[in-house]
Structure 1
Amino acid sequence: MKFEDLLEELDGFGTFQKLLVFLSFIGRVSLPCHFLLNNYIGAIPPHHCRLGSGDSNLTQEQRRIINIPRQEDGTFTSCHMFSEPQLHLLKNESNISVVSVVECQNGWTYDNSTFISTLATEVQSTPDIP
């Protein structure tokens, strides 16, 4: 006896089977939304080390210049800072001798112009300091 014959003898594809198929489609319709959600909440916006309260005579941009090293393309590094402020950088001197760089000590400051809230900005923990 074939499966089709057995199914026909048991009254075929009935209400219960139709209900099961319908219930399985509910999860399948919402599943793509869950996959796409990570594209938005999983983004890591531009960020740099959070600066301490430091010198109040300097603007935020000046404090960033003396505390955070730049990459080759001119942007600030994301996860490193100078171990001590480099005040000579305010005079536009590109003469940087060997300067010690450390990982961020106080966490990060994120640019919220594109994304207001992401996983990276919500779970904003400081690096593990031994």
Structure 2
Amino acid sequence: MLKLNKIHHIAIICSDYQKSKHFYSEILDFKILLEAYREERQSYKLDLEVGNQYQIELFSFPEPPARPSRPEAAGLRHLAFEVDDIDEAISHIKAFGIVIEPVRIDEFTGKRFTFFADPDGLPLELYEK
């Protein structure tokens, strides 16, 4: 029987490394664990800690293809982050000039959630605990 323990990491490829590094480490406040430039691949790899548990690997590659569509393309639909106070999180993110959709209510759980996008348009969700 296969036993998967947890999600180990989430890999994201960005088009502008410095812009995405700033977004994830300064705006979303993810802690930088390790940053490396891989000369042979002309690629940065930035390991970010999320809530003392999960890790995002942010990659840059020369001229990556654009994401096919938002968010209903086959594959990853969006990445959701749990927050204690959605209003506080929205205020923090909006202070950086980032557009956030109106808050909605999950019809199954009654919890509040909203969406915004990273610098490459990857849909990100805030989901209130």
State the structure with bigger RCO (CA 8 A, min sep 6), 1 or 2: 1
Question: Do the two structures share a fold, i.e. TM-score over 0.5?
Answer: no
Write 1 or 2 for the structure with the bigger share of strand.
2
Relative to its length, the structure with more helix (as a share) is 1
Q: TM-score, normalised by structure 1?
A: 0.25
Give the TM-score taking structure 2 as reference length: 0.25
